């Protein structure tokens, strides 16, 4: 898996603070911008976050390039609808030569499971390649491709949606692959917007576990992990 922060709103915390201050100020925007110092921005953002006034976070956006994830994970990712996605097409990109796959650790760590898995993938690839070679369009042959097939996707989310995404997908109960991806994304945005994302992570960081009876029971370790991230 490879996750890169391709671009983001220039000075995202200034953009958010400026939008928030504008709601309560009679001065013009340029004058307001000139008045905001670094300390003012941090203090104001801390106040906004503590009050839960998160609509202004939508003024900051972040674009990620993600490679080497499975279709299992991309299907989960696009359920986050307040975002923009561009994904490698299986209609136009042929996998005739060989399609790469993601292997879950529970399979990779067991020689017997891994052997079975690899054999099934090889059979699917042979079938796919034979169909394409016979003239079947890639858009039809792709029906044979498994959920394990690797994909590439570009994702743009605003800061508010990212906080929600991290709250859900950094949780121990999230599937391992999307959780690993979410953690990598969080590592990338924290240095860019440290005040906005300093408390980002699973829902249990700031209170009781939102999973209730389905709690993983690891809150102490989880909180320590994200504090040190």
35 annotated as ligand-binding: no
169 is in an annotated binding site: yes
| Residue 164 counted as an annotated binding residue | yes
Q: By the 8 A CB rule, do 156 and 78 touch?
A: no
3-state secondary structure of 155: strand
CA 14 to mean position of chain CA atoms: 23
Would the annotation count 55 as a binding residue? yes
93 is in an annotated binding site: no
Contacts of 109 (CB under 8 A, 6+ apart): none
Q: How many CB atoms lie within 10 A of CB 62?
A: 23
Residues 171 and 179: their CA atoms lie apart, in Å, by 7
Structure tokens at 131: 């169909």
**Active site includes 169?**
yes
Tell whether 61 is in a known binding site: no
Give every CB contact of residue 14 below 8 A, 6+ residues apart in sequence. 33, 36, 41
- The answer to whether 213 is annotated as binding is no
Residue 80 marked ligand-binding: yes
Catalytic one among 169, 173, 179, 190? 169
Task: Tell me whether residue 43 is annotated as binding.
Answer: no
Task: Determine whether the annotation assigns residue 98 to a binding site.
Answer: no
Question: Residue 127 and residue 140: Cα distance in Å, rounded?
Answer: 12
As given in the structure block, the two tokens for residue 161 are: 């949606």
* 54 marked ligand binding residue: no
Q: Is 160 annotated as a binding residue?
A: yes
CB within 8 Å of 1: residues ≥ 6 apart? 66, 67, 68, 69, 177, 180, 181, 184
Residue 159 marked as a ligand binder: yes
* C-alpha–C-alpha distance, residues 165 and 173, integer Å: 13
Binding annotation for dUMP = 76-79, 87-91, 142, 169
Q: Which residues are annotated as a binding site?
A: 55, 76-81, 87-91, 142, 158-160, 164, 169
Catalytic residues: 169
Query: Binding site residues for FAD, as ranges?
Result: 55, 79-81, 87, 158-160, 164
């Amino acid at each position: 898996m490879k996750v890169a922060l391709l671009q983001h709103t220039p000075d995202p915390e200034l953009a958010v603070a400026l939008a928030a201050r504008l709601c309560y100020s009679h001065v013009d925007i340029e004058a307001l911008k000139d008045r905001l110092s670094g300390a003012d921005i941090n203090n104001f953002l801390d106040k906004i976050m503590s009050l839960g006034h998160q609509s202004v976070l939508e003024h900051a956006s972040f674009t990620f390039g993600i490679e080497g994830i499975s279709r299992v994970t991309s299907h989960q990712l696009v359920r986050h609808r307040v975002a923009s996605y561009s994904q490698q097409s299986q209609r136009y990109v042929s996998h005739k030569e060989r399609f790469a796959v993601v292997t879950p650790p529970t399979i990779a760590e067991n020689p017997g499971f891994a052997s079975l898995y690899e054999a099934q993938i090889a059979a699917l690839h042979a079938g796919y390649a034979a169909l394409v070679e016979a003239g079947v369009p890639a858009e039809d042959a792709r029906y044979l491709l498994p959920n394990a097939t690797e994909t590439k996707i570009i994702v743009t989310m605003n800061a508010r949606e990212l906080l929600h995404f991290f709250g859900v997908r950094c949780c121990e109960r999230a599937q391992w692959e999307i959780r690993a991806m979410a953690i990598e994304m969080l590592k990338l945005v924290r240095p860019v917007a440290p005040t906005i994302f300093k408390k980002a992570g699973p829902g249990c960081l700031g209170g009781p576990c939102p999973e209730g009876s389905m709690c993983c029971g690891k809150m102490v370790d989880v909180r320590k992990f994200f504090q040190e991230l």
